Structure 1
Amino acid sequence: MKNTINNHIKLTQNAINKIKNLTLNKKNLKLRIYILGGGCSGFQYQFIFDENINKDDVLINKENISIVIDPISLQYINGGKIDYIENLEGSKFVVNNPNAKNTCGCGSSFNI
């Protein structure tokens, strides 16, 4: 693990509560955020739960939850905010990304 940071990505209380709920009684489970090429706008946000931390990963700790992100993905969403929403379309983690120049209608892909 490269380092621990807490100010590069913000989390809403909804996101924190959902992560706590999903990782309850699973101390080693962390939310991993990463960026993939593809999607209708160029890049896609991906979220998975992971027990592993790679040596160059960045760890973000907030209110007893942990988020893991690789340094390349971090550069694309640095300064962003992670939220969790539930609406008629379903429920999902979403990113409010100040670095994105364009996003698709569903909010799951972006370009820079």
Structure 2
Amino acid sequence: MTTEAHTEAHTQSTEAAAPTGVILTDVAAVKVKTLIEQEGRDDLRLRIAVQPGGCSGLRYQLFFDERSLDGDVVNDFDGVGVVVDRMSAPYLAGATIDFADRIDAQGFTIDNPNAQNSCACGDSFH
């Protein structure tokens, strides 16, 4: 094995071990599917993006989208399409999207291992 081939094989195995996309829990997938059905459209996917803003520097955005943009990372979770644009993908690699429906919290939550710190309200991160 040449040094170049060995380096390439090592890089590939390192990349395979790193999380490459977001994870949508089963509970969140059911909620997304229900919301899309309520919209009466079958062309929508959940788009997750990171935008500048918030008190910690970056803010999450979750919305339904029918667009396909160049460089989008698309994952399917039990028939629910989840899309992350190429600029947001590094910030969201390995993040878990869940849905809470409790008396103390209701809505989508994001557990992001890439967030170094977040604000008290949980709306933004750095």
On the 8 A contact 1:94/1:108 being kept in 2, the answer is no
CA distance in 1, matches of 2:104, 2:58: 21
Structure with the bigger RCO (C-alpha within 8 Å, sep 6+) is: 1
- 1:20 paired residue number: 33
Question: 1:78 aligned to 93, 96, 102, which one?
Answer: 93
Normalised to the residue count of structure 2, the TM-score between the two structures is 0.76
Partner of 1:32: 47
Q: Secondary structure at the match of 1:102?
A: coil
- Contact 2:24 2:98 (C-alpha < 8 Å) held by counterparts: yes
State the structure with more CA Rg: 2
Shift of 1:90: 5.6
CA RMSD of aligned residues (A): 1.8
Instruction: Judge conservation of contact 1:80–1:97 (CA < 8 Å) in 2.
Output: yes
Q: TM-score, normalised by structure 1?
A: 0.85
Aligned to 2:106: 91
Gaps of 5+ in 2: 1-18
Deviations 1:54-106 (A, max 9, x none): 12211111100001110110100101100112345663222100011101122
Letter aligned with residue 120 of structure 2: G
Residues 49, 88 of structure 2: 8 Å contact kept: yes
In the alignment, is the contact (CA less than 8 A) between 1:32 and 1:49 conserved in 2?
Answer: yes
Kindly provide the amino acid, as one letter, of the partner of residue 45 in structure 1. Y
Higher strand share: 1
Q: Which amino acid aligns with 1:9?
A: V
User: Where does the alignment leave 5 or more consecutive residues of structure 1 unmatched?
Assistant: 1-5
Are residues 1:101 and 2:116 paired? yes
Kindly tell me the number of residue pairs found equivalent between the two proteins.
Answer: 106
